[in-house]
Chain A
Amino acid sequence: MDGTDPALVARAQAGDHDAFGLLVERHSRAVFRVAYRLTGHEQDAEDVVQETFLRAFRQIGTFESRSNVATWLYRIAFNCAHDALRRRPLAARHDSIDAATAEGLQREIQDHAPGRDPHRRLESSEISRRVRDGLGELTELERAAFVLRHFEGQSIADIGQALGLQTSATKHSIFRAVQKMRRAVEPLMGTQA
C-alpha cells in the first residue's frame, strides 16, 4: 500500500483513522522541535503538538493534495504556538524562558558523558541559553521563519506558504532573524576553540 504523505492524507480524508495515525507518527518529532523553538517551553511544546494534530484532523478535509503535509502542519503548529503564548500571562512568559533555561542546564548536567570536557559542557549550555534568549527577542514571524529555515531546512518558498507570506517578506524575516541571532551568539564566538 502507498505510504506516501499524499496517499495517507487521501485515506485519512476518506475516514481512515489509521492512515491519519501514520501521519502523526511520521511528523510528531519535527512538529515538537518546531513547537519547542517557538514556545521555548517543553510542556507548551507538547500541548502544541497535540493540538496541532487535533486541528489537522479537523481540517483534513480542506487539505489540498498539491500542498506539502509538513508545510501544512507547520502552519497549524505556528497558529497553535501563537495561541499558547497569548494565553500565557506576560509574567509567565518570562518565567517560561527562565524555566526553559533551567531545563536546558539540567539536561546538560544529566546528559554529560563521563570524561566529557566540563568547559565544553558549560559552553554548550551557554550557547543554548543565548539561542533561546535570541529566539525570544525575535518577532513571532521572524522566529517561525528562522526556525523553519535554519533548524528544519525548509525552503523559503515552503516557509512563505506555511506562514502565508510573500517570498520577499519571508526572506526579510529570515534576514532580520539571522542578524539578531548573530548578535545573540557572537559574544561566544571568540571563546570557541
Chain B
Amino acid sequence: MKHLADDDLVLYYYAEGGSLPEARAHLEACGVCRERLADLESALSAVLSSAVPERGESYGREVWARVRPQLGRRAGVGRVFGRLAAGWLTPPRLAFAGGVAMLVVAAFAAGRYWPAGTGSPGSGAGAVARDAAARDADSNDMLLASVGGHLERSAMVLAEVVNRPDGRAADVSAEQMRAGDLVATNRLIRQSAVRQGEGGLASVLEDLERVLVEITNAPSPMPAADLDRIRQRIRDRGLLFKVRVMETQLRERQRDAAAAMPAVLGKKS
C-alpha cells in the first residue's frame, strides 16, 4: 500500500486540495497514516493554542478613532499629488547630483513654498495668508513624505534583488509583489516629470519602472538567468544609487522645509 505523502496529510488537515475523498478512504484503511495524521494534528493544534494579545470588542472602534482624523490629511496628499500630476506646479529649478532633477523638490525650492505677499502684519488678510501658508506647508510636507516613501520602497526592492547571490535562482516573490505595487505610483510621478520637461528625472524613473515591471513579471522563483540580467541592468544604469540620491535629496528638503516654516511664519506675524 502506498502511504500518503506529508504534503497530502497537510492538505487533508486543512481540508484543501482535490483528492480529499481518496485521502479519506486511504486513512480509513491505513493505521500508519492515521497515526501520522494524529501527530500532525497534535503539533498543529499546539501551534494554534499559542497566545496573541487580546483585543476586545471595542477595538475596531478604537482603531477607527485613530485612523479617521488622518483621512483628511491623506486626502490632502491625494489632492496635491493630483495637482502635481496635472502639471499644476511651476517649472522646477533644482538639479540633483548626476544631473538628475527632482520635480517634486524643485517645486518647493522654486519659491512657491510660501506666498510672497501676505498682507500687513496683524491684518485679517495676513492671518488668512498665514493659515493658507501653514496648510500648504502641511500638504507639501506630506507630498514630500509620500514621494520619499515611494523612492525608499523602490530602493529596498532593488537592493533585495541586487544582493541575491550570483548564478542562482531565488524566491523573490515578496519583492515581486512589492514591485508590482510600486509601478502605478512610479508611473504617475514619471508622467508628471515628462510634462514638466524634466528629462533627467523622467529617464531615471523610466529605468526604474522598466526594472520594476521586469521584476514583477518574471517567473517565480526567479531563474538565475533572469535574476542576473535584472541585476546587471540595475548595476549598469547605477539605478539603485540614483534612486537613493533622489530619496536623500528629498528627505533633506523635507527637513529644511520643516525647519524653515516656523521662522517664516514668525516673520509674518
User: Restricting to B24-80, which residues have a CB under 8 Å from any CB of A?
Assistant: 39-40, 42-44, 46-53, 55, 59-64, 66-68, 70-71, 74, 77-78
How far is the CB of A137 from the nearest CB of chain B, in Å? 13
Majority SS of interface residues in chain B? helix
Other-chain residue from A24, A33, A54, A104 in contact with B74 (beta carbon distance below 8 A): A54
Complex Cα gap A128–B102 (Å): 49
- B71 with A36: CB separation less than 8 A: no
Complex Cα gap A128–B49 (Å): 8
**Chain A residues within an 8 Å CB radius of B47:** 127, 131, 134, 150, 181, 184-185
**Binary B-proximity of A124-153 (CB < 8 A = 1, otherwise 0):** 100110011010000111000000011100
Other-chain residue from A36, A150, A166 in contact with B44 (beta carbon distance below 8 A): A150
- Check if B220 is an interface residue, CB within 8 A of chain A: yes
How far is the CB of B192 from the nearest CB of chain A, in Å? 18
- A171 with B7: CB separation less than 8 A: yes
Name the residue in A28, A36, A58, A127 with the highest tally of chain B Cβ atoms < 10 Å from its Cβ.
A28
- B53 with A163: CB separation less than 8 A: no
Q: Number of residues in B with C-beta < 8 Å to the partner? A: 46
With both beta carbons as reference points, the residue of chain A lying nearest to B73 in the complex is identified as: A54
- A50 with B156: CB separation less than 8 A: no
Complex Cα gap A149–B53 (Å): 19
- B51 with A150: CB separation less than 8 A: no
Complex Cα gap A113–B212 (Å): 53
**Binary B-proximity of A167-193 (CB < 8 A = 1, otherwise 0):** 001010011001101101110110010
Majority SS of interface residues in chain A? helix
**Chain B residues within an 8 Å CB radius of A185:** 43, 46-47
- A169 with B173: CB separation less than 8 A: yes
Complex Cα gap A52–B143 (Å): 19
Beyond A28-B55, A36-B53, whether A166 also contacts B220 by CB under 8 A is yes
- A104 with B51: CB separation less than 8 A: yes
Beyond A25-B60, A53-B63, A189-B46, whether A107 also contacts B173 by CB under 8 A is no
How far is the CB of B222 from the nearest CB of chain A, in Å? 12
Beyond A53-B63, A127-B46, A189-B46, whether A164 also contacts B55 by CB under 8 A is no
Task: Please choose the segment from A3-11, A64-72, A79-87, A88-96 that sits at the chain B interface, where 4 or more of its residues have CB less than 8 A away.
Answer: A79-87
**Chain A residues within an 8 Å CB radius of B173:** 141, 163-165, 169
- A79 with B181: CB separation less than 8 A: yes
Complex Cα gap A175–B44 (Å): 12
- A128 with B67: CB separation less than 8 A: no
User: Restricting to A1-44, which residues have a CB under 8 Å from any CB of B?
Assistant: 17, 20-21, 24-29, 32-33, 36-37, 42
- A26 with B60: CB separation less than 8 A: yes
Complex Cα gap A150–B45 (Å): 10
Complex Cα gap A128–B53 (Å): 11
How far is the CB of A89 from the nearest CB of chain B, in Å? 14
Given A45-B53, A163-B173, 4 more A-B residue pairs with CB atoms under 8 Å apart are A20-B71, A50-B66, A128-B50, A150-B44
Give me 9 A-to-B residue pairs in the complex whose CB atoms sit less than 8 angstroms apart, sorted by A's number: A26-B60, A28-B60, A50-B67, A54-B74, A79-B178, A131-B46, A141-B174, A151-B52, A178-B44
5 interchain residue pairs of minimum CB distance: A25-B60, A131-B50, A164-B177, A28-B60, A28-B63
